[in-house]
Amino acid sequence: MKVVLVGQPNCGKSTLFNHLAGYKAITSNFPGTTVKFHRGRVRLADKEIELIDLPGTYSLGYSDLAEREARRFLLTQDYDVIVNILDASLLGRGLELTLELLELQKPLVLVLNMMDEAERKGIMIDEKKLSQILGIPVVKTIAYKGQGLTEVIQAVIKAKTENLKGNPLPFSRDVEEVINEVTEALKRKGNTANIPLRFLAIKLLERDEDLLKLVGDNLEEYEKKLETRHGRSSDLVIASERHALAMNISEKVSQVLTVPKPSRWDKMDNWLLHPIFGYVFLVLIFLGVFIFVFEVGKFLEEPLMETFDKGEELLSKSFSEGPLKSLLQGAYQGFASGIGIVLPYLFPFLIILSLLEDSGYLPRVAFLVDFLLHKMGLHGKSALPFLLGYGCTVPAVMSTRILESERDRILTAILVTLFPCSARMIVISGLVAYFLGPLYALSIYFINLLVIALSGAFLSKLYPEITPGLILEVPRYHIPSLRITLIKTWFRLKEFIKIAWPLLIMGSAVLAFLQHVGLEPLLNKLFLFITHPLGLPRELGVTLLLGILRKELALLMTFQALGTKNVLEVMSPSQIMTFVLFVTFYVPCLATLAALWREIGLRRTLKGVAFSFSIAFLIGLLARLVL
Amino acid sequence: MRLDEVEPGKTVKVVSIEGGRGVRHRLLNMGILPGEVVKVVRSAPLFGPLMVSGRSGTFFIGRGMARKILVEEVS
């Protein structure tokens, strides 16, 4: 049995999915965390259920790619039951989507999630009455606590076996008349791609571009009819009808017992979004995160590396010189630096990232920096992909799907690759923070932001177009749960352990072998066009090549290539800064290239690569001259 | 009056929304449509966005977008 989870952004859909299917989808307290489908399986009482978690969508019309994808799935794919999840504390708004889903005429279950939040706001919901009105099972849950999930599964099975498709609710009479006329017209026409006619008719009256194209018909006469009767455009007529209907149902089935007091958290915004202090906190949080990571990382790295160095001595004593020894030594160094250098920085960083994501603070950054992003021809919403970019560029590039305009999406995707992801953070930590001090490392982050701002301004001159502007829901603050934080961190750490670490071990072994047989200088020669003008040791050439596979490799291979772990012996501070700045900006890693290709196409990806490479080269040259 | 001219703390009623369907669509989804009452909670400095709260939740709305929303005072 195939079950799709549908809901508005931030209603706890992915949390519910993870509880049922095991942790597979990253959840966060901001919209756009899920921009593609996640699939999972639950086995219950001999029944195997396939769960599909769709991107959050406010309605079955769409404003962005993530929403469009969710709708396309619902209209074209085969599935048995829809589970519609809504935030019970925003019942009226959530029901607007439910009303649309009813039109699809598929077995449907409504889940009222976040019941604890609704109760805190003093909202009591009569789910039996709601179930009667809609004609479908309604279940109350608190997904993050796992409450009510068995009932959800039972309701799904019930909806499927009893074929509970619910009752599409009628709009006012004159609107219904026009809808019926359009339905009749569609019937005569045929060719409606198996989309339920009434749903199609309503969407066409809402002037849905995709569907108008699909039907290829002019429905202006019907639109006009609604417009003259109501004195406003037909899409607005339908939206208002649906809104009123949803609010009406919400009032019928819920009661507000107490007037909600502004919670302590709401008051936090008085500080965090303050015209002056808001920015002070933003800078402090930003600095705090990185200083914490650099300090904790260094504290952990030193004893770990000492231990591994002892192991290396042992290894070097027990084998005689030869290709085998080089290979083994290389592999060992790759293995050791994975634990000794990468994890000490990556682990604390991922924990903090997860805490920030779940707290609800990040969307507020969009509010604070909106005016700055306008100077780059974008708007506040781009801040979300940018902030995600500090973690990993791949999901950050994908999250650009939450942007409404194509141009904003392309610019943001290209700029996002310039943000130092956690892998680059490791290069910055391991070389700059470790050898030169945290202040130097922070200065790299500062220079990085400056360069991105200038690049953004430059790119938006190339692609001048007015950005539609920010509309973003403000999530509630939320104390992140320890369990979810750890699971999420582990989920991301696994990425490193499974993919990057083996690459690291192999890369290190191969490089040691190349050094042994004397092929390395040849490779380095290929990169002289970079290393020479930037005044870097030519041995670093090969690290740049490996850095394209994974950015962490650039750091670890540096030790291998230079033949020492004390980089200061062979590189001056200015050379270290030049190298790290270059690595921060140059060509994104392979996984990012693939993601970019998918999101913005090959040609733009290549342009983006050329762009980032030129920036890296320019900044490298500048650093060499200035520092 | 336009939404971007409303002082923070004031509650207003939406009269109409200018601009094409694309602009309107997201606002409609967020419950900002003619007849609805919304409160401007705060605004960011330097022509930054507004924080607006209504029956359908709390939203950040960019200044340019807010200019397209015509509102009237409610007593």
Q: How far is the C-alpha of A438 from the C-alpha of A299, rounded, in Å?
A: 13
CA A39, chain centre distance (Å): 17
State the architecture of A173-256 in CATH terms: Orthogonal Bundle (1.10)
- With a cut of 80, say whether residue A32 has pLDDT above it: no
Give the model's pLDDT for residue A29: 62
Tell me how far apart the alpha carbons of residues A567 and A435 are, in angstroms, rounded to a whole number. Answer: 8
Angular region, B57: left φ>0, alpha ψ -120 to 50, beta rest? left
Q: Which residues of chain B are within 8 Å of residue A92 when distances are taken between CB atoms?
A: 31, 55-56
User: What amino acid is encoded at A518 in this protein?
Assistant: G
Cα–Cα–Cα angle for B48, B50, B56, rounded to 5 degrees: 150
Q: What is the pLDDT of residues A585-608, one digit of tens each?
A: 988 888 889 889 988 999 999 999
3-state secondary structure A396-451: HHHHHHHCCCHHHHHHHHHHHCCCCCHHHHHHHHHHHHHHHCHHHHHHHHHHHHHH
Q: Most confidently modeled of A41-45, A242-246, B16-20?
A: A242-246
Q: What's the pLDDT score for residue A260?
A: 66
Residue A213, both tokens: 């194209």
User: Residue A335 has what pLDDT?
Assistant: 87
Of the candidates A96, A370, A471, the beta carbon closest to that of B27 is on A471
Pairing verdict, β A2-7 and A47-53:
parallel
Cβ distance A236 to B33 less than 8 Å, yes or no, reads yes
Of residues A503 and A242, which shows the higher confidence score? A242
Q: Do A63 and B56 touch (CB under 8 A)?
A: no
Q: B3, B26, B65: best mutation site toward chain A, by most A Cβ within 10 Å?
A: B26
Q: Which two tokens stand for residue A94?
A: 């959530």
Radius of gyration of chain A (CA): 28
Q: Which residues contact A288 (CB under 8 A, 6 or more apart)?
A: none
How far does B21 lie from chain A, in Å, by closest CA? 8
Chain A window 257-316: which residues touch B at a Cβ cutoff of 8 Å?
269, 273, 275-276, 278
Secondary structure (DSSP) of A541-573: HHHHHHHHH-HHHHHHHHHHHHT-S-GGGTS-H
Task: Record the tokens describing residue A574, joined without a space.
Answer: 């200015």
pLDDT for position A215: 83
**Which residue has 């359009």 as its token pair?**
A182
Q: Output the six-digit token pair for A409.
A: 């999406």
Q: Searching chain A, which residue's CA lies closest to the CA of residue B62?
A: A470
Mean pLDDT of A306-325: 83
A402 touches chain B (CB under 8 A): no
Q: What does the pLDDT read at residue A35?
A: 64
Min distance A33 CA to chain B CA atoms (Å): 18
Specify the pLDDT at position A159.
95
Q: What pLDDT band is residue B43 in, cutting at 50, 70 and 90?
A: very high
Question: What are the structure tokens assigned to A330, written together?
Answer: 């290389």
| Residue A501 Cα distances to A306, A309, A313, A336, A504, angstroms | 20, 18, 22, 10, 5
Single pTM value for the model: 0.87
Instruction: State the Cα torsion A546-A552-A556-A561 to the nearest 10°.
Output: 30
- Residue B59 pLDDT level (bands cut at 50, 70, 90): very high
Q: A472 to chain B: which residues are within 8 Å by CB?
A: 59-60
Least confident of A132-141, A444-453, A478-487, A575-584: A478-487
Mean per-residue pLDDT for A97-113?
Answer: 96
Contact call for residues B61 and A467 (beta carbons, < 8 A) = no
Give the pLDDT score at A45.
65
CA A52 to CA A334: how far, in whole Å?
38
Q: Does A470 touch chain B (CB under 8 A)?
A: yes
Q: Is the pLDDT of residue A26 over 70?
A: no
Q: Across chain A, what does the average pLDDT equal?
A: 89
Evaluate if residue A375 carries a pLDDT over 70: yes
Residue pairs spanning A and B at CB distance below 8 A: 113
Residues of B in contact with A202 (CB under 8 A): none
Question: For chain A, what are the domain ranges?
Answer: 2-161, 173-256, 277-474+482-626
Q: Which of A235, A275, A380 has its CB closest to that of B62?
A: A380
pLDDT of A34 reads 64
Which residues are CB-neighbours of A330 under 8 A, at least 6 positions away?
Answer: A508, A509, A510, A511, A512, A513, A560
Class of domain B3-73: mainly beta
The whole-angstrom distance between residue A579's C-alpha and the CA centroid of its chain comes to: 29
CA–CA distance, A60 with A101 (Å, rounded to integer): 8
Helix (H) or strand (E) holding A111: strand A108-113
State mean pLDDT over A558-585.
Answer: 89
For A492-534, what is each residue's pLDDT tens digit? 888 788 888 888 888 888 888 888 888 888 888 988 999 999 9
The count of residues in chain A is 627
Query: What distances in angstroms separate CA A317 from CA A305, A331, A341, A565, one per listed residue?
Result: 18, 16, 24, 19
What distance separates the 2 farthest-apart alpha carbons in chain A?
92
Q: Is the pLDDT of residue A194 over 90?
A: no
Using DSSP, state whether A509 is helix, strand or coil.
helix
- CATH no. for A2-161: 3.40.50.300
For residue A232, list chain B residues with Cβ-Cβ distance below 8 A: 16, 34
State the nearest Cα–Cα gap between B20 and chain A, in angstroms. 10
Chain-centre distance of CA A236, in angstroms? 31
Q: What pLDDT sits at residue A199?
A: 94
pLDDT digits (tens, 9 = 90+) for A140-170: 999 988 899 999 999 999 999 999 999 899 9
